[in-house]
Structure 1
Amino acid sequence: MNTATGISDLKIALSSTTQMFSYVDKDDGPRSYAKRFVVIFTDGLMVASSELKTQADLLLSFPKMIVATVGIVQILTKLNMATSIPTCDVCINNDISKTASGWCLECEEAICTDCEKQHGCMKLTKNHKIIPIDNNKMPTSNLDSEQECNDHSRKLDFFCLKHSQPCCVTCIFEKHKRCQELKPLPEVEKGMTSFDSSFSNLEDRVEEIIESITGLLKEKQENKTRLKVQKNNIITEVQTIRRSINNHFDKVQQSLMEGLEKEEKTQNERIDICIEKLSAILKKVDKLSSKLEQAKQHKSEFQAFLAAFEWDKTIEKEEKAWISLQTDKISDSVDIQLDISPILMEFEKDLTEFGKIEVTYSPSKKLLIENPNQGQSLTSASSAIYKINLTNICSFQTPSGTSRETLITDIDMLDDGRIILADNSSNRRLILMSQEGELIKIIQINDICFGVAVIDKTTIATTLVKKKKIAIVDIDSSEVQRFISMSEECYGLSLAGETLVVSLDDPTFQFVNLSGKVVSSVWKADYADYCCVHNNKLYYATSSGDSVFEAKLNGDIVWKSYCQKYDFPDGITTDASGNVFVACKSSKRVLVFGKDGKESRVLLSKENGLNNPRAIHYKREMNILLVCNLSGQCFLYKVTN
Structure 2
Amino acid sequence: MAESGSKKGEDDKVPGRVKEHLCQPCLSKDKQNVADKFCSTCNEFQCNDCSNVHNVLAILKNHKLVSVKEGNPSTTLFEMKNLELCDQHQKLFEFFCEDDNKLCCSTCAIVNHRKCHSVVEIKTIAGKITSPISTLGEKLKEAKKAAESVAKHICSSKDQLAEDIKEIHVKIRQMRDEVIRIFDDLEDSVAKRAKILQRETFENLSKKQTQNKKHLADVTSCLETIESIFKNGTPVQKYIAEHKMESNVNTLCRNTKEECQNLETVNISFHFDETLKLPPLQITEYVPGQLLLKSTRQGDVNSVNKAMKLTPISAISLKKTGDDINETLYSGVDFLPDGRLVAVDNTNKKCLVYNEKLEKVGSYQLSYHPLSVAVISEKEVAITRGIGYKIEFLHVSKCNEIRSSKICNVNTNYYSICLKDDRQFVVGTFDEPRPVRIVSLTGEERDFSVNFPNKIYPIDTSASTYIKSSDKVVITDRDEHTVYIYDIKTDTRVVVKDDQIQLPRGAAVGPSDTILVCCGKTNTIVQISQTGQILSSYKLDMTYPFRVCVSRDKSFIVVANNCPGNKIMQKFKISC
Superposition TM-score, scaled by structure 2 size: 0.49
Instruction: Tell me which protein shows more helix as a share of its residues.
Output: 1
